Amino acid sequence: MSLRILVPVKRVIDYAVKIRIKSDRSGVETANVKMSMNPFDEIAVEEAVRLKEKGLVAEIIAVSMGNQQCQETLRSAMALGADRSIHVETDKELQPLAVAKILQSLAKTENTNLLVLGKQAIDDDCNQTGQIVAGLLGWPQGTFASKIELSDDKKSLTVKREVDVGLETLRLMLPSVITCDLRLNEPRFAKLSEIMKARKKPIVKKTPEELGVDVEPRIKILKVEEPPTRPPGVKVDSVHALFDKLVEHGFV
Amino acid sequence: ACPYKPQSVNVALVGCDTYEETQKVLLSAKKDLGEILSAFEFFDTEALELLLSKDKNAVDPLGTKCRFYLLIETSGSDSSHDKEKVNNFLEKILSAGHIKDGTIAQDESQASSIWYLREHITEALKKTGYNYKYDITLPSPNFYDIVEQIRKRLSPDLAKVVGYGHMADGNMHLNIVSPTKSDQVLSQIEPFVYEYCATNKGSISAEHGIGLFKIEALKYSKPSAMIQVMRTLKQTLDPNGILNPYKVIPTHD
């Protein structure tokens, strides 16, 4: 069977930007800050496109959730090679559980057999969405993928995963969920001709209500703070004094 | 007060197959990007080839070989306004057939990769052999012609010739590299390059100055009367010649 891939892409603060905390400590300042597609999601799209270039994929659908500006991220995904997009429009704060529920609903209606996600978003660093949606769908998961191969009979995937002890190789029966890690691939530069074509590819709008999903956040952020500033160093003038200080601070 | 760092920066790389096309892109950029155009850099395929062979961190974003490459950067205060301007500009030059291919950076990392190419040509040249470097200004029609003229004068097994520079300013960095220092190669370049600048109303030094090495060439860009005035001023203000000695002003005509 041909792969029908769904790739969620998230609009986040560009990873190269130095972030600031809002003065009321409610979160990170996003106004007037450069936003880009989550780097791990770029890797996910790139992997889907590479599978398509091998002739293994019927269709790649990109999905993004949030306000109108998500459309920019979807255009980027289509410029990289996604065939069409879905914009799930909402102003609510979306947490991994809500995103997973939406993906579960879309995977069913779009007849997806491979869900490819970035391993985590660089703004919340949750690393949960892929795992939760695999659980909701009852599909096997290959997380932190550094290599993906489709079997000759097209019924399973061999996934190499980066784990603490090294590399682990799994075989997953389709349909399955993959989350992508850094070394899976290097995303291409979008060609201008593709960027122009992407402007005409379709983006369908949906809402969480239409999909029957309750996206109410279950976790409340109480406060966001910068890490404590490093205290100044202390100079000592002898080895004895150094030793005493080390003992005083419990290092020896 | 310090000027504000621009909110919205876009970096694009486009490829052209003829010099005339690059000029059309430049004209269009000046007209359609206007005040947000912050960089317009040029390099030829020879420069890119050299870079890719010597620097493993360099990546060719286009994948298709083009005769000339243009790095176009915009800087502004309103990202949606700028993005629209840039997209319209790129669509226009693409559909008019002025460019063969191109890309626009999707994030900071891609923007850095594109700038990396332009900024590391000089290092790659250094790794290739002995460099003969020229920083000249020429009017548009001659901007690249000088590179081709020099290339004609040197056989490929003697030396490689590359051209890159700040095209919007007419500033060409003409670079020649031979395996080792060669007087034969040098004789094919000088004084031809300086005579070429003089005949075509260019300058023998665009941004790098005269310093120690171009004192003898100053006469190709400044008439002797002018040099005499410079000398007189210098002697008046620095009679003992202790300020920045041995630089810029020839001691004799």
Averaged pLDDT score across all residues of chain A = 95
Measured between its terminal Cα atoms, the distance across chain B in Å is: 46
For residues A198-215, average pLDDT: 95
Question: What is the per-residue pLDDT for A140?
Answer: 98
Q: Which is it for strands A35-37 and A11-13: parallel, antiparallel or unpaired?
A: antiparallel
**Rounded to a whole number, what is the distance in Å from the CA of A190 to chain B's nearest CA?**
6
Q: What is the pLDDT of residue A252?
A: 82
Interface-testing mutation among A12, A30, A38, A189, with chain B (most B C-beta atoms within 10 A): A189
**Beta carbons of B176 and B160 less than 8 angstroms apart:** yes
Compute the distance between CA of residue A202 and CA of residue A159 in angstroms, rounded to an integer: 31
* Cα B104 from Cα A75, distance rounded (Å): 13
- Tens-digit pLDDT string for chain B (253 aa): 788 888 899 999 999 999 999 999 999 999 999 999 999 999 999 999 999 999 999 999 998 999 999 999 999 988 889 988 999 999 999 999 999 999 999 888 999 999 999 999 999 999 999 999 999 999 999 999 999 999 999 999 999 999 999 999 999 999 999 999 999 999 999 999 999 999 999 999 999 999 998 999 999 999 999 999 999 999 999 999 999 999 999 877 5
Residue of B7, B103, B108 lying closest to A14 (CB–CB): B108
Phi, then psi, of B105 in degrees rounded to 5: -65, 130
Cβ neighbours of residue A234 closer than 8 Å, sequence gap 6 or more? A245
Residue B228: predicted pLDDT: 94
C-alpha B27/C-alpha A10 separation (Å) is 37
> Mapping DSSP to helix (H, G, I), strand (E, B) and coil, where does residue B22 land?
helix
Q: What per-residue confidence (pLDDT) applies to B79? A: 84
Prediction ipTM score: 0.80
Mutate to test the interface with A, among B106, B112, B114 (most CBs of A within 10 A): B106
The answer to whether B106 contacts chain A (CB < 8 Å) is yes
C-alpha to C-alpha distance for A160 and A170, rounded to whole angstroms: 6
Which residues are CB-contacts of A184 (< 8 A; sequence separation ≥ 6)? Answer: A43, A46, A47, A145, A146, A147, A148
Per cent of chain A over pLDDT 70 is 100
pLDDT of residue B54: 96
Q: Which pLDDT band holds residue A80 (cuts at 50, 70, 90)?
A: very high
Query: In this complex, is the C-beta atom of B117 within 8 Å of any C-beta atom belonging to chain A?
Result: no
Is the omega angle on the peptide bond into residue A175 within 30 degrees of 0, that is, cis? yes
Measured from the Cβ of residue A124, the count of other Cβ atoms closer than 10 Å reads 16
Find the angle CA(B35)-CA(B40)-CA(B43) to the nearest 5 degrees: 175
Share of chain A above pLDDT 90, in %: 88
Q: Where are the alpha helices (DSSP H) in A110-186?
A: 129-137
User: According to the model, what pLDDT value does residue B1 have?
Assistant: 78
Cα–chain-centroid distance for residue A13? Answer: 13
The per-residue pLDDT for A233 is 87
Candidates A73, A188, A14; CA nearest to B8 is A14
Look up the pTM and report it. Answer: 0.87
Ramachandran region, residue B64 (left: φ > 0; alpha: ψ -120 to 50; beta: rest): beta
Q: Does B80 touch chain A (CB under 8 A)?
A: no
Residues of A with Cβ-Cβ distance to B79 under 8 angstroms: 34
* Residue B86 neighbours by CB under 8 Å, 6+ apart: B10, B12, B33, B74, B104
The pLDDT score that the predictor gives to residue B253 is 59
CB neighbours (10 Å) of residue B71?
Answer: 20
Is the pLDDT at A20 greater than 80, yes or no?
yes
Chain B partners of A36 at a C-beta cutoff of 8 Å?
106-108
